[in-house]
């Protein structure tokens, strides 16, 4: 069975659905940041105090959003592979494709380094920095053979902790070069939430998957089975690494045998356990969405998840504007309020994203393409 593309946009709906789902979860996390008085933010050895007990509802609200960054970055790599292939099919030269990817990556990284740093009052290196730098590096890394790219991705994902064990002390000074590449920093001078290279490994892995997807696009069930197999293998490996409680946990070790302790893994920087857990879940969810796409006779082009997934970067920027506009209207409160505000944000953004998507598709060569 052939993998279905949206005929008007040549996009795979399952990928956009998944991207839209993580945008919705991201909006929940950021609404919690603004309006949840008891929000948990302890996903790093730099942020967690051993022995602290978490409220289950607060922890799980934070935990379900952990899938957002690795999924979005993985799918960005997949989209690079698919988009480049489609552009070559249209006769566009590699030089132009590379230039567009380089400019897009620089534009995305500069949003963090300029706009969000200006708002924060200090240099801040967040997810857009990691995505942008990774895209720029993908201009060169996509020339690697697929097998070499796959092993490099694994090295970056699995080997980061070994490097940090040699170079990084969580309670010590961090050289700037190490901060922007591998080790997070939370200081009054600058903040690095997403050091670039571990996330580059995830994007490169997504690119490898994109190449595989293109090679087997005549058989979507083969892709589904591959994703399911990989997903369960990753989750099994997560259980092993988390259970051994040593390497792969990025200094965030088990303090008990509760579900919360098993799920409380390091995101800053991403541990091997974190990456295996989130990408494993992502692979299974994507496989299910691809099966759903294959059996549906028609795809609703205006479904919320699809709309948000097809306008992801615009959504990312716009949802901060909406949250800031709502901030004077609500005091920080309980978790129930956070969920209602998230629903309000999504309701406001849905028609705006539909309008933006229509404009972007109408003027594909305009500056809108960078969003």
Residue pLDDT, tens place only, 293-324: 877 766 788 899 999 999 999 999 999 999 99
Q: For residues 80 and 210, is the Cβ–Cβ distance under 8 A?
A: yes
Residue 300: predicted pLDDT:
83
Q: What is the Cα–Cα distance from 144 to 137, expressed in whole angstroms?
A: 12
Q: What is the β-pairing status of strands 191-192 and 124-125?
A: parallel
Q: What is the Cα–Cα distance from 286 to 241, expressed in whole angstroms?
A: 24
pLDDT, one tens digit per residue, over 29-72 is 999 999 999 999 999 999 998 889 999 999 999 999 999 999 99
Confidence of residue 9 (pLDDT cuts 50, 70, 90): very low
Q: Which residue has the higher pLDDT, 148 or 219?
A: 148
Confidence of residue 220 (pLDDT cuts 50, 70, 90): low
- Among residues 298, 290, 92, 99, which one has the least CA distance to residue 209? 290
What is the model's pTM? Answer: 0.94
Query: Which residue do the tokens 């990084």 mark?
Result: 168
* pLDDT (average), residues 229-254: 96
Residue 7: predicted pLDDT:
42
* pLDDT (average), residues 281-287: 97
Q: For residues 205 and 74, is the Cβ–Cβ distance under 8 A?
A: yes
Examine the pLDDT at 5 and tell me if it is beyond 60: no
Confidence of residue 219 (pLDDT cuts 50, 70, 90): low
- Among residues 322, 326, 302, 325, which one has the least CA distance to residue 314? 322
Q: In what order do the strands lie in the sheet with 185-186?
A: 124-125, 191-192, 185-186
Percent of the chain at pLDDT > 90 equals 81
């Amino acid at each position: 069975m052939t993998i279905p593309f949206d005929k008007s946009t040549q996009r795979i709906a399952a990928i956009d659905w998944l991207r839209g789902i993580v945008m919705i979860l991201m909006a929940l996390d950021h609404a919690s940041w603004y309006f949840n008085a008891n929000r948990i933010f302890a996903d790093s050895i730099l942020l967690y105090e051993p022995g602290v007990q978490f409220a289950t509802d607060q922890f799980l609200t934070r935990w379900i959003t952990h899938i957002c960054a690795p999924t979005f970055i993985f799918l960005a790599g997949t989209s690079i592979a698919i988009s480049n292939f489609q552009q070559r099919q249209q006769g566009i030269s590699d030089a132009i494709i590379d230039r567009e990817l380089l400019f897009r990556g620089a534009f995305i990284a500069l949003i963090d380094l300029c706009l969000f740093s200006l708002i924060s009052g200090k240099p801040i290196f967040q997810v857009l920095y990691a995505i942008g730098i990774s895209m720029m590096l993908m201009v060169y890394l996509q020339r690697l053979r697929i097998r070499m790219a796959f092993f490099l991705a694994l090295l970056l994902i699995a080997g980061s902790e070994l490097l940090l064990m040699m170079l990084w002390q969580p309670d010590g000074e961090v050289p700037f070069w190490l901060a922007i590449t591998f080790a997070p920093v939370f200081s009054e001078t600058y903040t690095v939430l997403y050091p670039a290279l571990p996330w580059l490994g995830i994007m490169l892995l997504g690119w490898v998957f994109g190449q595989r997807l293109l090679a087997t696009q005549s058989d979507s069930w083969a892709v589904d089975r591959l994703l399911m197999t990989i997903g369960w293998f990753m989750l099994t490996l997560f259980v092993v690494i988390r259970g051994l409680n040593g390497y792969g946990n990025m200094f965030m070790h088990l303090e008990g045998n509760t579900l919360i302790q098993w799920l409380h893994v390091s995101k800053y920087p991403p541990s091997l356990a974190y990456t295996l857990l989130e990408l494993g879940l992502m692979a299974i969810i994507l496989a299910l969405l691809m099966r759903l796409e294959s059996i549906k006779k028609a795809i609703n082009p205006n479904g919320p998840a699809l709309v948000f997934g097809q306008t992801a970067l615009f959504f990312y920027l716009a949802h901060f504007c909406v949250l800031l506009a709502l901030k004077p209207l609500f005091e920080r409160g309980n978790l129930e309020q956070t969920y209602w505000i998230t629903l309000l944000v999504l309701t406001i953004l849905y028609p705006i994203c539909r309008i933006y998507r229509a404009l972007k598709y109408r003027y594909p060569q305009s500056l809108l393409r960078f969003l």
